[in-house]
Structure 1
Amino acid sequence: MGLKFKKRTIGWMFVIFSVFMICLFYFYPMIQAFILSFQTGMGSNLDFVGFENYTRLFSDPTFLTALKNTLIYLIFQVPIMIILALVFSVLLNRPNLRFKGFFRTAIFLPAVTSLVAYSVIFKYLFATDGLVNNFLETVHIISEPINWITDPFWAKVTIILAITWRWTGYNMIFYLSSLQNIDRSIYEAAKIDGASSVQQFFRITIPMLKPIILFTSITSTIGTLQLFDKPMNITQGGPGNATLTISQYIYNLSFKYSPDFGYAATVSYVIVILVVIFSLIQFKVAGDRND
């Protein structure tokens, strides 16, 4: 018993500091934010209002717009990004492909590019007289420039393209590393049995990568629900809140409008609820049915 207690004590000595820091900087702020969501006021002059902030959500047009925009990004961008990452990883995992290192680096590079730099580049590329419009006009796809930044529909498209461009390579790395752990003999046996490349992709690659696909889908969903930097830097949430996200609305409530930290905390817990709901759905749809 003495040796067992000693080992347990030593183990706790290794983790106690990390546990304390996690509780201090993660769980304590979460609890405080939840308590704050039942209050209203400025600074330290806060009054308890019960569920008033939560009922206010359903009659707040700006919040409903931000929620709709965020869900649009989620529904369209995440599947596109996951599919592209899967396709790129399969193509770049071919043993006879030349310059694999170059292509892998080129696709992954946006994930480590400076946020401000890439936002400025996107604003210039998708400006009315930018490179994208010039190219589309040159190849006669469009007859007049598209207002990528100032049109509500095309501004959403621009944000979706920006997110996809930045994070596709990041997810591709997860799939690529997993593909390299799959025995090539499985594909060779399938090829001998007459399976085409498409059949191998859907019958071997997808099932083998199922845990990684679930992981990247959940992390991408969480990241999209917390989306802030892209619309803030590219469109500033405009035009007319057309690209406003929930996180950007939280920022505006806290620092741009008259400070209302209680209501901002309430809106932030909407993200928590959405993360839980979508994660449970993804676990239910893509998780192991035997669990």
Structure 2
Amino acid sequence: MTTTATAPAVTPTAKPARMTLRTSRSARRRRAALPYLLLAPALVTFGVFKAYPIVDSLLLSFTTGAGSATRAAGLANYRRLLDDPLFWTALRNTAEILVVQVPLMLALALLTAVGINSVLVRWRAVWRLGVFMPAVTGLVATGVMFAFLLRTDDGAVNRLLETVGLPAVDWLGQPFWARMAVVLVLTWHYTGYNAVIYLAGLQGIPKDLYEAAMVDGAGPVRRFTAITVPALRPVLLFTVVLSTIGTLQLFDEPYVLTGGGPDNASLTVSMYLYQNGFRYFDFGYASAIAYALTLLVSVLGAVQMRLMGEKDR
């Protein structure tokens, strides 16, 4: 009698289960790594072109000399700043331009925005485009254009002054008027940019507030001071801080318009930094100027945000 042995059936559940678990873990790892892979190009670009130059320039500010002659200098460059009369001249010029230009520009921008928002309703888009156009003009082109307009003998601005009976002004040859010429160029270039920002803020204010104020008998000035200005407080803070930072970093306009003259009357901190770095190749001192300017910008920005920012309730 022959007995036939039957092989036991093998349940193929353990191995596929392990493979499924391994596959799910691998998929989770890929999903977890995907955001980092997508961010990698931006992070590498930031590290190479932003973080590395910032750190390297900080280390450079503690050195002196150039090329193979570079050597450690400790805090010598920063001590030199305190005794450098030309640095203080550049800082004073920058401060004078800032004090005059920023309030003037922002006041004109706010008035322009209020006018476009309240009166010129049908042509609002056209006027908005018109006032914004100077902001897209190249800074070098703007400087060259105003250099011709402000010429003493045959400039269009002096011709206009003479037409109304006022004497001609030596815009680019007198220290005070050279700084005012820079103020004029900056105001023309950036007023429309800030006006468009204010216009966007004005359009976000509920009309019900103005209607309620008019019912209570509030006039235009009262409505402006009691409703418009408080409602625009965050926008005002943004433009004040941004304009202050931009003016402290002022370079293109005075460089093209006056070259820092006459007699360093329109020399700014950024221009002085450029001269030390790329004319005298004193990169350590130029880096120290850059970090002194960075500290100044940070302090002023913090003070402005403290004074104009929303108070905690």
Q: TM class, shorter-chain normalised?
A: over 0.9
Change (3 A) 1:52 1:139: same
Give distance in 1, aligned partners of 2:215 and 2:32. Answer: 54
Give distance in 1, aligned partners of 2:265 and 2:133. Answer: 29
1:14 and 2:38 aligned? yes
Other structure's SS at 2:71 match:
strand
Give distance in 2, aligned partners of 1:4 and 1:204. Answer: 53
Paired residues for 1:47-126 under 5 Å: 47-94=71-118, 97-126=121-150
Paired residues for 1:159-238 under 5 Å: 159-238=182-261
Give distance in 2, aligned partners of 1:259 and 1:235. Answer: 22
Amino acid at match of 1:187: Y
Alignment deviations for residues 251-270 of structure 1 (CA, whole Å, 9 cap, x no partner): 111122x2100000001111
1:134 and 2:156 aligned? no
In the other structure, the counterpart of 1:264 is: 286
- Contact kept in structure 1, 2:140 and 2:253, CA below 8 Å: no
Unaligned runs of 5+ in 2: 1-23
Change (3 A) 1:218 1:8: farther
In the other structure, the counterpart of 2:55 is: 31
In the other structure, the counterpart of 1:244 is: 267
Q: 1:96 Cα deviation (Å)?
A: 5.3
Change (3 A) 1:192 1:8: farther
Q: 1:20 Cα deviation (Å)?
A: 2.9
Unaligned runs of 5+ in 1: none
Q: 1:7 Cα deviation (Å)?
A: 5.5
Larger radius of gyration: 2
User: How many residue pairs are counted as aligned between the two chains?
Assistant: 288
Other structure's SS at 1:93 match:
helix
Alignment deviations for residues 189-243 of structure 1 (CA, whole Å, 9 cap, x no partner): 1111111111111111111111111111111111111110000000011001100
Amino acid at match of 1:282: Q
Alignment deviations for residues 146-205 of structure 1 (CA, whole Å, 9 cap, x no partner): 110010000000001101110111111111112112221221111111111111111111
RMSD (Å), alpha carbons? 1.9
Give distance in 1, aligned partners of 2:59 and 2:302. Answer: 25
- TM-score, length of structure 2 as denominator length: 0.87
- TM-score, length of structure 1 as denominator length: 0.93
Give distance in 1, aligned partners of 2:122 and 2:181. Answer: 32
Other structure's SS at 2:118 match:
coil
Change (3 A) 1:288 1:5: farther
Alignment deviations for residues 45-96 of structure 1 (CA, whole Å, 9 cap, x no partner): 2110111100101111111111111111111111111111111111111265
Q: 1:116 Cα deviation (Å)?
A: 2.7
In the other structure, the counterpart of 2:298 is: 276
Give distance in 2, aligned partners of 1:200 and 1:20. Answer: 51
